[in-house]
């Protein structure tokens, strides 16, 4: 780490940067000593931002402040309300504990999950904190921070002026323009996350994924609240989306898919708009080729009568279209261990092929009665079912794809590249336009 500092940071007198702040989790603060010392040697003002500072015993704050003081290389010590779940009483006690040993400037980085960022900042001010982070309109990752304009207004009211107080009015005018343009504001989902010690990146990831409606996000957050979610990992999110626990037996269903599609051609229908655009061509293809037709979740463009089966893996999808699934006149292929609770007593109304599914980090394994997957994607599950069923070819429609920097695009191409490495993989061809790494054909190809 010391060598990396030397490579990344020139001497301060030749750098456009004057202040470097190190952000590190509270429990790992000791690892920042070598960084702060090397930065100080190179002439920088050094800040230390202790993330996830909530919920510690008083003596932990005192001992940490004493230890950092002993380094002699930190100019400003910060504590961060990373989950936005601190209240004014906690702000006061943390500030006092740190200031009992720390005699240099103390700062606070407040998050606004519960709408308490401003009052927490003002409480910290009363407790002796003198450095405050703020952003215009509170803009920031997730629920955002205390707003700069709110701090400026309060500091002016308290007659705490740093610089020219007349800068306040232009700032407020700019904020009003931005507010009208971007409609920025707090989000109740981050409030829920703060109350349950859920890392805000989980909420941010769910909100940024168009596959999820808000009604589908709530059960995922409820699931996250029952497990350790203080650090973001994709595997924890995957488990929450599928309501799975790593100790369950979700990979083992009751139905053996082996040979179900023996030597058959299969048409897998996705949800992309191209299904609507090429609807007539798809129906002609089905009539001419007579493939086994499988829907990936409920389809908005084709009648259920067209399909021979529907694949369903996600609880939120089942919740959203439960009445439609209950009326299907063909089988649903799904992992009952993971979705049975959605249908409850109404399971008797369904024709189910119970093929198991379990999410396991770094895995793509297909077995007779279930699969073990790294990705929480119905497509990967459908590939597993169709492959185990011994189909001879798989055609895809409605897999349009996304932009190259969209995480859904990255995920799907990861599935495809990993599938291509499996010894049992079968040929894939997209018959409607796609951005995925799939061999491109056409729904209008002649029958040969």
C-alpha distances in Å from residue 348, one per residue of 326, 343, 344, 351: 10, 9, 9, 8
In DSSP terms, 132 is beta-bridged to 108
SS3 218: helix
pLDDT of residue 246: 41
Cβ 69 vs Cβ 48: under 8 Å: no
pLDDT per position as a tens digit, 322-346: 888 999 999 999 999 888 778 888 8
Which of 68-72, 103-107, 207-211 shows the lowest mean pLDDT across its residues?
207-211
pLDDT of residue 93: 97
Task: Select from 33, 117, 21, 40 the least CA-distant residue to 71.
Answer: 33
- Mean local confidence (pLDDT), 29-57: 96
Determine whether 168 is exposed, middle or buried from the number of CB atoms within 10 Å of its CB (0-12, 13-18, 19+): middle
Q: Which two tokens stand for residue 425?
A: 């993989």
Confidence of residue 16 (pLDDT cuts 50, 70, 90): very high
Cβ 130 vs Cβ 108: under 8 Å: no
Share of the chain above pLDDT 90, in %: 62
- Mean local confidence (pLDDT), 290-314: 94
pLDDT of residue 116: 94
Q: Is the pLDDT of residue 358 over 80?
A: yes
Confidence of residue 388 (pLDDT cuts 50, 70, 90): very high
SS3 292: strand
Mean pLDDT of the chain, nearest integer: 89
pLDDT per position as a tens digit, 161-208: 555 556 677 777 888 777 777 756 667 788 888 889 999 888 888 887
- Mean local confidence (pLDDT), 294-315: 93
Cβ 121 vs Cβ 90: under 8 Å: no
Kind and range of the H or E run holding 214:
helix 214-225
Helix runs in 1-159, H state only: 2-8, 33-41, 58-71, 88-99, 117-126, 148-157
- Mean local confidence (pLDDT), 266-285: 96
- Please state the pTM of the whole predicted model: 0.60
- Provide the b/e sequence for 328-354 (b: ≥16 CB within 10 Å): bebbbbbbbbbbeebbeeeeeebebbb
Q: Is the pLDDT of residue 318 over 70?
A: yes
pLDDT of residue 245: 45
């Amino acid at each position: 780490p010391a060598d990396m500092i030397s490579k990344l940071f020139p001497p301060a007198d030749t750098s456009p940067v004057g202040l470097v702040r190190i952000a590190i989790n509270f429990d790992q603060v000791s690892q920042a000593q070598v960084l702060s010392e090397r930065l100080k040697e190179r002439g920088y003002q050094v800040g230390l931002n202790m993330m996830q500072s909530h919920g510690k015993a008083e003596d932990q704050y005192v001992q940490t402040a004493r230890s950092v003081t002993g380094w002699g290389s930190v100019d400003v010590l910060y504590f961060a309300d990373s989950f936005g779940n601190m209240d004014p009483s906690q702000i006061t006690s943390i500030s006092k504990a740190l200031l009992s040993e720390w005699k240099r400037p103390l700062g606070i980085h407040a998050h606004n999950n519960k709408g308490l960022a401003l009052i927490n900042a003002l409480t910290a001010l009363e407790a002796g904190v003198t450095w405050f982070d703020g952003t215009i309109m509170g803009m920031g990752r997730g629920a955002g921070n205390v707003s700069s304009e709110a701090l400026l207004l309060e500091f002016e009211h308290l007659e705490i002026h740093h610089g020219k107080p007349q800068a306040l009015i232009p700032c407020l005018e700019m904020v009003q323009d931005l507010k009208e343009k971007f409609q920025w504001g707090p989000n109740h989902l981050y409030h829920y996350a703060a109350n349950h010690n859920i890392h805000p990146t989980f909420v941010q990831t769910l909100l940024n994924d168009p596959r999820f409606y808000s009604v589908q996000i709530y059960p995922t957050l409820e699931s996250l609240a029952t497990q350790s979610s203080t650090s973001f990992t994709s595997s924890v999110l995957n488990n929450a989306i599928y309501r799975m626990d790593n100790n369950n037996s979700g990979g083992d269903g009751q139905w053996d898919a082996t040979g179900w599609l023996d030597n058959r051609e299969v048409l897998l229908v996705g949800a992309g708009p191209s299904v609507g655009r090429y609807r007539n061509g798809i129906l002609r293809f089905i009539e001419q080729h007579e493939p086994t037709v499988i829907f990936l979740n409920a389809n908005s463009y084709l009648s259920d009568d067209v399909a021979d089966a529907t694949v369903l893996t996600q609880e939120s999808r089942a919740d959203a279209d439960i009445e439609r699934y209950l009326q299907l006149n063909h089988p649903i292929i799904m992992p009952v261990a993971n979705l049975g609770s959605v249908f409850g007593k109404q399971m008797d109304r369904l024709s189910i092929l119970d093929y198991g599914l379990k999410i396991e980090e770094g895995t793509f394994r297909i077995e007779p009665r279930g699969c073990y997957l790294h990705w929480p994607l119905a497509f990967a599950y459908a590939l597993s079912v169709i492959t185990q069923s011994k189909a001879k070819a798989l055609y895809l429609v409605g897999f349009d794809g996304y932009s190259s920097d969209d995480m859904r695009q990255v995920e799907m191409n990861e599935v495809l590249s990993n599938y291509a490495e499996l010894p049992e993989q079968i040929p894939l061809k997209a018959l409607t336009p796609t951005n995925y790494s799939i061999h491109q054909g056409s729904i209008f190809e002649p029958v040969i």
